[in-house]
Structure 1
Amino acid sequence: MKPLISACLTLTLFACATSPTGRSQLTLFPESQMAQMGTSTFTSMQQSQKMDTNPRNATYVNCVVNALIPELNALAPGMRSTQWEVKVFADDAPNAFALPGGKIGVHTGMLKVAENQHQLASVIGHEVGHVWAKHSNERVSQGFLTQSGMQLAAVAAGDMTSEKQQLLGLLGVGAQVGVILPFSRKHESEADEIGLELMARAGFDPRQSVELWKNMQKAGSGSTPEFLSTHPGVDTRIRDLNARMDRAIKIYQQAQASGKRPNCRL
C-alpha cells in the first residue's frame, strides 16, 4: 500500500507543467506516447467511419489549417516538427477534433454550421488549441489518478460492506462532478482563448467566433445544461469570447495590415 501511494506522489511531483495560458497542469505521460495514441485512434476512425470524398471540402479545410499552423508554430516552437494530417468525415453532426500527433478531423456537418472561413478557423483553432495545451494528456493523467485513488480507497476500506459500497459510490460521483467535469470545462474555455488568438494572428476575423456559437445554438448543439456538461454553455462561451475580443481584434488588424488575408472558399 505505502509503495503504491509513494509512487503516485512521485509521479505527481515530477509531472507538473504549465499550459499556454499559464495554468498549472499535471501531465504524467510523455508526448511521444500521446502522439502514438492519437495516431492509432485516427487510423481506427478512418477505418470505421465513412470518409468524405469531395475534394473541394478537403481543399477548403486544408486551406484554413495551412493558415493557422504557421501561427501555432510561431507561438509554440516545440510543435514545429509536427506533421499535421487533415481528414474530412462524412458525418452530419457539427463536430471537429484534433488529436495528439497532429491529426485533425472535420465533419461535413460542421461545414454547414460554420458558414465561412472565419468560423471554420474558430473551430479548428480551438481544436488545435487542445493539442498545444496537452489537454488529452491531462485527461488521461487525471483518469489514471482517479482510478488509482478509487482502487486505493477500495483496498483501504477492507471487506465489501454496504458502507463501503456507499463510500465508493460517493467517491465516484464526487470524482465525476467535482473534478472531471469542471476540469473539462476549463479545457474548453482555455481552447477557446487559444483558438481566438490563433485565428486572429492568421488574419481570420475573431468576431466570427461569436457568430459560430450562435449558429451552433440554432443547430441545437448548445442545448445541454451547463451544469453536469463537459462544455461551457453557449452564453458563457460567447460572454468569455467577447471579453477577449478587443485584444483579438487588434491582433487581427495587425495581421491584415501585414498581408495575412486568407482566402479559403468552399
Structure 2
Amino acid sequence: MLIQLCLKMCLLLLSVLFLTACATTPTGRTQLAFMPDAEVNNMGLQAFENLKHEKPISRNVQDNQFVHCVASAIAREVGGEWEVVVFEDPALNAFALPGGKIGVYAGLVNLVDNQDQLATVIGHEVGHVLARHSNERLSQQLGAQAGITLVQAIAAPQTAMGQTAVSLLGIGAEYGIILPFSRLHESEADTIGLDLMAKAGFNPAESVALWLKMEQASQGPRPVEFLSTHPSHTTRIKDLQARIPKAQQLQQQAKAAGKNPHCVKG
C-alpha cells in the first residue's frame, strides 16, 4: 500500500512538472523548460560579469557606437534593459545571455560590411534567448536539482561544474568546453533573428551575405569560433532565402512606421 501511494505521488509530481514545464517558443514549438527563469537569468548575469573581468573591453569609440546602435535597435523590438559590451578580441564571435546581456567581439565588427550583417548575428543570438534555449538545455540535460547546483557553480567558471554551466548558456568555448546549440535551436534562432532584425528596420537579405562571409572566413587556418560553437549547416542559407520575402515585408512595415536605423561602421 505504501509503495503504491509513493508511486501515485511520484506520478502526480511528474505530471505537475510536465504541465508546468511545457512552454511555447516564438516559432510555436513546444519545449520542456522547467528551470526557473529567474535562476537562468542569474546564471547569465554571473557569466557576463565573469567575462567582463577576464576579457579586455574595447575602448574603440567607433566600434562601440556602431555595435550599440545596432544592438539598441534590436533590443527595442524585444523590450527590457539590455547591456551591450564590445570585447577587444579578434575572434569572430558574439553572444546573448539570459538576463539581458549582449557581447560582441571586435573581430566580428571588423568582418561585417554593414549594419545589416551585424544585425543578423545579434538578432540570431537574441533569438536564442527569446526561445529560452539555455533553459531548455539545462532542463533536458541536467534536471532541476542539478540545474540549481549549476546556478551556484557558475560563480566559479574554472571548475568542471562551472564550465558545464557556462557551456549550456552558449558561451562554452570561452572555457574550453563546446556544447553547441542543436540544429533545431540554430534553425529556430535563425528564424527568430531574421524576423527580429527586419522588424527593427534592417535588411534581412544581408543575412545570406553574412553567413557566406563567415563560411569563407572559416576556410582559413583557424576555425571561426562562432561557427565552432554555432554549427553552420548546408541548409541554413536555403532556409534563410526561403524566409527572406516574408521578412522583407516586415522590414517594409518597419520603415513605414519610421524605423530606419542608420548605424555606420567606422
Q: Shorter-chain TM-score: which interval?
A: 0.7 to 0.9
Unaligned runs of 5+ in 2: 147-178
Q: Any idea what SS the aligned residue of 1:14 has?
A: helix
Match of 1:262 in 2: 261
Residue by residue over 1:63-90, the C-alpha shift from the partner in whole angstroms, topping out at 9 and shown as x without a partner, is 01111122223xxxxxxxx321000111
- Work out whether 1:20 is the aligned partner of 2:19: no
Q: 1:112 aligns with which of 91, 106, 110?
A: 110
Offset of residue 92 of structure 1:
1.2
Which consecutive segments of 4 or more residues in structure 1 shift more than 3 A?
1-10, 145-148, 221-224, 229-234
> TM-score, normalization: structure 2?
0.76
Offset of residue 207 of structure 1:
0.2
AA aligned to 2:71 is: V
Match of 1:72 in 2: 78
Distance 2:118 2:84 in 1: 14
Offset of residue 147 of structure 1:
10
Q: 1:63 aligns with which of 52, 69, 74?
A: 69
- Work out whether 1:46 is the aligned partner of 2:62: no
Q: How many residues align?
A: 222
Contact 1:84 1:104 (8 Å CA) reproduced: yes
Change in 2 beyond 3 A, CA 1:182/1:55: closer
Match of 2:169 in 1: none
Distance 1:249 1:32 in 2: 35
Offset of residue 235 of structure 1:
2.8
Change in 2 beyond 3 A, CA 1:230/1:219: closer
Match of 1:102 in 2: 100
Q: Any idea what SS the aligned residue of 1:244 has?
A: helix
Residue by residue over 1:144-192, the C-alpha shift from the partner in whole angstroms, topping out at 9 and shown as x without a partner, is 14998xxxxxxxxxxxxxxxxxxxxxxxxxxxxxxxx897111111010
Percent identical among aligned pairs is 51
Change in 2 beyond 3 A, CA 1:241/1:146: farther
Q: How does 1:1-266 map to 2 (within 5 A)?
A: 6=11, 10-73=16-79, 82-145=80-143, 184-220=182-218, 231-266=230-265
Offset of residue 254 of structure 1:
2.1
- CA RMSD in angstroms, aligned pairs only: 2.8
Change in 2 beyond 3 A, CA 1:145/1:32: closer
> TM-score, normalization: structure 1?
0.76
Distance 1:230 1:56 in 2: 27
Larger radius of gyration: 1
Unaligned runs of 5+ in 1: 74-81, 149-180
